[in-house]
Homo-oligomer: A and B are copies of this chain.
Amino acid sequence: MVERLLGRHGAVEDHRDDPVSAVWAHVQQARNLKRPHTLELLKAMADEFIELHGDRLFGDDTAIVAGLARIAGRRIVVVGFQKGQDTEENIRRNFGLPHPDGYRKAMRVMDLAERFSMPILTFVDVQGAFPGAAAEERGIAEAIAKSVGLMTRLRTPIVVVITGEGGSGGALGLAVGDTIIALENSIYSVISPEGCATILWRSGEQSHEAATAMKVTAGEQQELGIVDIVIPEPGDGAHTDPVETARRIKEVVLERLDVLGRMTIDELVEARFQKFRVMGPYVVADRPTPPQERASITDRLRGLLSTRPSMPSMPGGGHDVPPGREEV
């Protein structure tokens, strides 16, 4: 994936032998403000879009848009992050950094989707939630937690498309679904590479290394089982042909909605639950004795250094989980 990207970019072709630089080029591509965001993609994909405003509690966050779209004749609730493509729009969109009102608006509109039997499509492209006091004190943490929780149980199909930056909890607030799609040049990470470097390397200058270590690229995330489908980007990247990008997304989204639509709602929600329930590998250490409820902690400690590898059970049977290593 990375190689393909580099093959099209003369400027960074020098880094072909330098994986760290190649990953960083990918990160920069994902952050290109000219990439199409939710409204640009919708313009190309949807026959009709009625934007709904407001969280019915406090405000209308312009960094998250939500509404009712008709795509290929289907009624679909669309929610997504909206960065600006120029300075003026960026200011109006608060630089694409959402506040609690954004997630609360999303929840309100996603609730309409469930109540009126519309599937949900989300577009994810956000550096992270607004990290300042205005968001903190009005409960950005609660808003993200509630939105994540809601999306795990909504009784309607949910397709997520990561189109650019899948940044941390701020992205996750709209990124829980039955199918997780990512554009080829997008990234997904638990913290920004800069933030990771600052904390772990004690210097922001190691952000390239951090991006590499976290395996942030769409292709790597697919290998890890976090992303289900990677969509190749046209030309020199999504920003060079937004219409073709939208066409490719539309094709995959509609195909996935068809598949998901053939499941019963109960099956769908249970499969979504299981999909995330099994995410995250761990091992089960050897037990010194057969399971005993009152095993003393000293017994457990004796077994600490000897482990046997184990895979998490996968009741949903849906997604591959990469093998855990046996480092412990």
Question: What residues on B are CB-neighbors of A57 within 8 Å?
Answer: 57-58, 138-139, 142
Task: Out of B56, B138, B142, name the residue touching A142 (CB < 8 Å).
Answer: B56
The A138-156 residues at the B interface (CB cut-off 8 A) are 138-139, 142
Chain B residue at minimum C-beta to C-beta distance from A58: B138
Q: With both chains docked as a complex, state the minimum distance between the C-beta of A149 and any C-beta of chain B, in angstroms.
A: 13
A138 vs B142: C-alpha distance in the bound complex, in angstroms? Answer: 18
A139 vs B138: C-alpha distance in the bound complex, in angstroms? Answer: 15
Chain A interface residue count: which class? Answer: under 10
A142 vs B59: C-alpha distance in the bound complex, in angstroms? Answer: 13
Could you give, for residues 52-78 of chain A, a 1 whenever the CB lies within 8 Å of some chain B CB and a 0 otherwise?
A: 000011100000000000000000000
Question: What residues on B are CB-neighbors of A142 within 8 Å?
Answer: 56-57
Chain B residue at minimum C-beta to C-beta distance from A142: B56
- Check B56 against A58 for contact (C-beta < 8 Å): no
A56 vs B141: C-alpha distance in the bound complex, in angstroms? Answer: 11
A142 vs B138: C-alpha distance in the bound complex, in angstroms? Answer: 18
Question: What residues on B are CB-neighbors of A138 within 8 Å?
Answer: 57-58
Tell me which of A56, A58, A142 has the highest count of chain B C-beta atoms within 10 A of its own C-beta. A58
Question: What residues on B are CB-neighbors of A139 within 8 Å?
Answer: 56-58
Question: What residues on B are CB-neighbors of A56 within 8 Å?
Answer: 139, 142
Chain B residue at minimum C-beta to C-beta distance from A104: B57
A139 vs B56: C-alpha distance in the bound complex, in angstroms? Answer: 8
Q: With both chains docked as a complex, state the minimum distance between the C-beta of A134 and any C-beta of chain B, in angstroms.
A: 12
Question: What residues on B are CB-neighbors of A58 within 8 Å?
Answer: 57-58, 138-139
Q: With both chains docked as a complex, state the minimum distance between the C-beta of A85 and any C-beta of chain B, in angstroms.
A: 31
Q: With both chains docked as a complex, state the minimum distance between the C-beta of A220 and any C-beta of chain B, in angstroms.
A: 37
The A115-164 residues at the B interface (CB cut-off 8 A) are 138-139, 142
Chain B residue at minimum C-beta to C-beta distance from A138: B58
Chain B residue at minimum C-beta to C-beta distance from A54: B139
Chain B residue at minimum C-beta to C-beta distance from A146: B56
Tell me which of A56, A57, A138 has the highest count of chain B C-beta atoms within 10 A of its own C-beta. A57
A288 vs B2: C-alpha distance in the bound complex, in angstroms? Answer: 81
A123 vs B139: C-alpha distance in the bound complex, in angstroms? Answer: 29
A138 vs B101: C-alpha distance in the bound complex, in angstroms? Answer: 12
Q: With both chains docked as a complex, state the minimum distance between the C-beta of A153 and any C-beta of chain B, in angstroms.
A: 16
Could you give, for residues 233-270 of chain A, a 1 whenever the CB lies within 8 Å of some chain B CB and a 0 otherwise?
A: 00000000000000000000000000000000000000
Chain B residue at minimum C-beta to C-beta distance from A56: B142
The A17-74 residues at the B interface (CB cut-off 8 A) are 56-58
Known A56-B139, A58-B138, A58-B139; further 7 A-B contacts with Cβ < 8 A: A56-B142, A57-B57, A57-B58, A57-B138, A57-B139, A57-B142, A58-B58
Interchain residue pairs with CB less than 8 A apart (10): A56-B139, A56-B142, A57-B57, A57-B58, A57-B138, A57-B139, A57-B142, A58-B58, A58-B138, A58-B139
Interface residues of A (CB under 8 A from B): 56-58, 138-139, 142
The 10 closest A-B pairs by CB, nearest first: A57-B57, A56-B142, A58-B138, A57-B139, A58-B58, A56-B139, A57-B138, A58-B139, A57-B58, A57-B142
